[in-house]
Chain A
Amino acid sequence: MGKKERVSVKICVGTACFVQGGADLLLYNEFLDPVVLGGCDIEGVSCLGGCKDPNAKDRPPYVQIGGVIHGDMTQEKLCKLLAEAVHA
C-alpha cells in the first residue's frame, strides 16, 4: 500500500455513546476486516460533544474518523466508512 497515512479513528466512550450502542464498537478487533484494521489508529476518547448538541441531526454513538464526526454509528456503518477511508 506504500507509505500511506494511517486513518485516525476515535470511538467515543462517553457515557451517552457507550450505553447507546457504542460499547459494541469496542469489539472492532472482531468485526473489522484485518486489512482495514491495519490501516487505522483506533482509540477510545471522551465525549466528542455530539450528544450535547441540541441541534444535532444524528444521535449517539459518535465516532470521529480522520477529523470528521459521524453519528448513529453501528458496526456495519463503521466497517463501510473505514474501508472507504483506508482504501481512498
Chain B
Amino acid sequence: MLELNNQYTVMKRQVHAEVLKAFFAGTLEQEVDALPIKIIPKARIANRCCIYKERAMVRYRIMALMGINIETEDDELKSLSSYVSEVMEKDKHVAPILTTISTACSSCPPDRYLISEACRGCFARPCLANCPKDCITFSNGQAHIDDARCIRCGKCKEVCPFHAVVHIPVPCEEACPVNAVKKNEEGFVEIDYQKCISCGRCAMSCPFGAIVERSGVMPVVKMLKAEEHVTALIAPAIEGQFPGTLAQIKQALLATGFSSVMEVSQGAETTSLHEAHELNERKSEGKGYMTTSCCPAYMELVDKHLPFLGERRSSALSPMGYAAEEAKKANPQTKTVFIGPCLAKRVEAVKLKTIDGVLTFSELASLFIAKGVDVREMEKADLGKTDSFEDCREFALSGGVASCVLSRYAKADEVSVLPINGIDKKMFRTMKIWDKRQPEADLIEVMCCEGGCINGPGVVVKPSVALKLRGGNKAAAPVKAMRSIVGARE
C-alpha cells in the first residue's frame, strides 16, 4: 500500500478544500472551471509530464468529488460548471463507489521480477538453485530471469544475499484481494464491479491516482448549507484523526454546521450485545463458528464471493445501523450523516435507508479547512453519558470488536476468537476453504483493513499517528504531552 503521506494526498486535499470553499461562498459554478489553473499555476514544476496533464487530473478530481462516474459520464466538451449545476439539482447515484481515470493510468507493465545491477554473480548462486522453473541464466557475470518462463514465485528474491532481485508489481492489481482490478487490452485499468467489494485498496495503492472514489460530500454540504437538521454519526475511528480530543472534534462538527453529534460507539454497544447473545445461542445449539458483521467490505465479500458464509455472519446491524436508528428515533426529521474511514460504508448506507449521507475523515478535514474550523481551538463539547459504550471506541482497531463482544458474554473464557486482521489475496484464499474445513474458533472477527478501521481508505493520518493521539486526555495537547523525554530530563 502506498504511504499515506504523499504528493497525491496533499493535492487531493487541496483540491477538495478549494472546491468546498467556493461552494460555501456560493461561487462554485462560476469559479470551478478556473480551479485547475489556480491549483496548478504556470510556475509549478510538474510531477506528471506537464502542467496541462496535471490540470486535467485536477479536473477529474473535481468531478470525482462531485460524485460523477468518470468512466461513464466523462465528456471532455462539457464544462465543469455544467457538471456542478447538475449536481446542485440532483444527487448522483452512489454505486459504484470507485471509478477509474484511464488517462491517468500509466498502464503499468505486467508484474515481474528483475535482477538488478546489484547482482555480483556469486559462486553459490542460490537463485539458480532455488528457481523451480529453471529460468535463471548467467551472462556477463550477472544473473538474468527469463520472463517467459518465470512464474513470479519470488523464490530468487528471498534467497539473494545482495537483495539484487526486485519485484515490480502492478500496484492496483496487487492490492485487490478479489482480483476485480484488471487491465484492458490497451493496458489501462478496469474494475469489474461484479467482483469489487469497495474496500478501496486499489485507490490507496495507485501512485498515479488513476483510481478514485466518487465522493459523497456534495449531498452532505448541500444539507449543511440549506441548514437542515443534520446529525453527524462519528465512527469510533475518528479519535486521533484530528489534533484534539473527542470533545473538541464534536465541537468542531457543531461549528461546521452539524446540528448534533452522536458517537457510533453507542450503536456499537448494541451490536456487541446482540452478537454476544447470538454467540451464546449458536454455541448452546452447537452450530459452530460465527463471524462479526460490522465491516461492510466483508459483507460485500460474502455476498459476492463467499456465499456459504452468509449464515455464519451475525445478524446484528452494524454500529452505524443502530446509531442511525437511535438518531432518527430521537428526532425523526433529522438527516443522518455517517463520518468514517470507510468507502464500503456507502454501499451499506444505500441498503439501510436510515443513512442520508456518508463522509470520510479525509473529506471532513477538507470541510474543516473550507469552513476555517480549527479543531484544536475548540472548546470541549459535552459528550454526554458515555460509560456504557466507552470501550466500544475500540471497534476501530483489530481485535476491538471481539473484545467488546466478549466483555458482554457471561462465559467469555470458553470462547475462542480468531481475528482476521486485514483481507488480502492470501487471506481471501484461506477463507475460501472454510467451506470445506471449518476454522477452529467460535467467534471470528473480520476486518478488511489491516489494523482495523484506523487504516481505512478515508483516514487523515496513518495508524501510528492515530494511535498516539487516541485515548482521551493525552490527545488534548498532543505535542506537549509527548514532549521528548530526552529534552525533559535535562
Query: Which of B74-82, B215-223, B368-376, B411-419 forms contacts with chain A?
Result: B368-376
Chain B residues near A (Cβ < 8 Å): 5, 9-10, 13-14, 17, 242-243, 362, 365-366, 368-369, 373-377, 460-462, 464-465, 468-469, 477-480, 482-487, 490
A42 to chain B: which residues have CB within 8 Å? 479, 483-484, 487
B243 touches A44 (CB 8 A): yes
B479 touches A13 (CB 8 A): yes
Asked if A69 is an interface residue, CB under 8 A from chain B, the answer is no
Residue in chain A with minimal CB distance to B367: A15
Apart from A19-B461, A26-B468, A44-B480, 10 more pairs, CB < 8 Å: A15-B243, A15-B374, A16-B369, A19-B13, A26-B478, A27-B468, A29-B484, A38-B484, A42-B483, A44-B479
| Contacts A15-B375, A29-B482, A47-B374; A38 near B490 (Cβ below 8 A) | yes
A27 touches B465 (CB 8 A): yes
A14 touches B376 (CB 8 A): yes
B464 to chain A: which residues have CB within 8 Å? 27
Q: Mark A13-29, 1 if CB is under 8 A from B, else 0.
A: 11110111101101111
A43 touches B376 (CB 8 A): no
Interface size class of A (residues with CB under 8 A): 20 to 34
A47 to chain B: which residues have CB within 8 Å? 374, 377
Q: Report the minimum CB–CB distance from A86 to chain B (whole Å).
A: 11
Report the Cα distance A81→B490, complex, angstroms.
Answer: 22
Q: Mark A35-56, 1 if CB is under 8 A from B, else 0.
A: 0011011111011000000000
A16 to chain B: which residues have CB within 8 Å? 17, 369
A20 touches B10 (CB 8 A): yes
A to B CB contacts below 8 Å, 22 in the list: A13-B376, A14-B374, A15-B243, A15-B373, A15-B376, A16-B17, A19-B365, A20-B10, A23-B460, A24-B5, A26-B468, A26-B469, A26-B479, A27-B468, A28-B484, A32-B484, A34-B486, A37-B487, A41-B483, A42-B479, A59-B10, A59-B14
Residue in chain B with minimal CB distance to A6: B487
Asked if A78 is an interface residue, CB under 8 A from chain B, the answer is no
Q: Report the minimum CB–CB distance from A25 to chain B (whole Å).
A: 9
Taking a contact as CB atoms closer than 8 A, the residue among B5, B242, B373 that contacts A21 in the complex is B5
B461 touches A24 (CB 8 A): yes
B487 to chain A: which residues have CB within 8 Å? 6, 37-38, 40-42
Q: Report the minimum CB–CB distance from A60 to chain B (whole Å).
A: 9
A44 to chain B: which residues have CB within 8 Å? 243, 477-480
A19 to chain B: which residues have CB within 8 Å? 13, 242, 362, 365-366, 368-369, 460-461
Q: Report the minimum CB–CB distance from A48 to chain B (whole Å).
A: 12
Asked if A65 is an interface residue, CB under 8 A from chain B, the answer is no
A18 to chain B: which residues have CB within 8 Å? 242-243, 375, 460-461
| Contacts A19-B369, A37-B487, A40-B484; A11 near B479 (Cβ below 8 A) | yes
| Contacts A13-B243, A19-B369; A43 near B483 (Cβ below 8 A) | yes
Residue in chain A with minimal CB distance to B466: A23
| Contacts A26-B468, A26-B478, A43-B479; A15 near B484 (Cβ below 8 A) | no
B480 to chain A: which residues have CB within 8 Å? 43-44
| Contacts A15-B374, A44-B243; A37 near B478 (Cβ below 8 A) | no
Q: Report the minimum CB–CB distance from B43 to chain A (whole Å).
A: 10
| Contacts A11-B479, A14-B374, A44-B479; A24 near B365 (Cβ below 8 A) | no
Report the Cα distance A34→B15, complex, angstroms.
Answer: 37
A11 to chain B: which residues have CB within 8 Å? 479
Residue in chain A with minimal CB distance to B462: A24
A26 touches B465 (CB 8 A): yes
Report the Cα distance A62→B444, complex, angstroms.
Answer: 44
B374 touches A46 (CB 8 A): yes
Q: Report the minimum CB–CB distance from A65 to chain B (whole Å).
A: 15
Report the Cα distance A14→B479, complex, angstroms.
Answer: 12
Q: Report the minimum CB–CB distance from B482 to chain A (whole Å).
A: 7
Q: Report the minimum CB–CB distance from B40 to chain A (whole Å).
A: 13
Residue in chain B with minimal CB distance to A44: B479
B486 touches A38 (CB 8 A): yes
Report the Cα distance A43→B243, complex, angstroms.
Answer: 13
Residue in chain B with minimal CB distance to A32: B484
Report the Cα distance A19→B375, complex, angstroms.
Answer: 11
Taking a contact as CB atoms closer than 8 A, the residue among B368, B374, B461, B483 that contacts A23 in the complex is B461
Taking a contact as CB atoms closer than 8 A, the residue among A6, A14, A24, A38 that contacts B465 in the complex is A24
Report the Cα distance A23→B241, complex, angstroms.
Answer: 9
Taking a contact as CB atoms closer than 8 A, the residue among B365, B461, B465, B490 that contacts A15 in the complex is B365
Report the Cα distance A27→B490, complex, angstroms.
Answer: 21
Report the Cα distance A11→B483, complex, angstroms.
Answer: 12
Report the Cα distance A13→B9, complex, angstroms.
Answer: 18
Report the Cα distance A50→B116, complex, angstroms.
Answer: 44
Residue in chain B with minimal CB distance to A17: B243
A37 touches B365 (CB 8 A): no
Q: Report the minimum CB–CB distance from B252 to chain A (whole Å).
A: 8
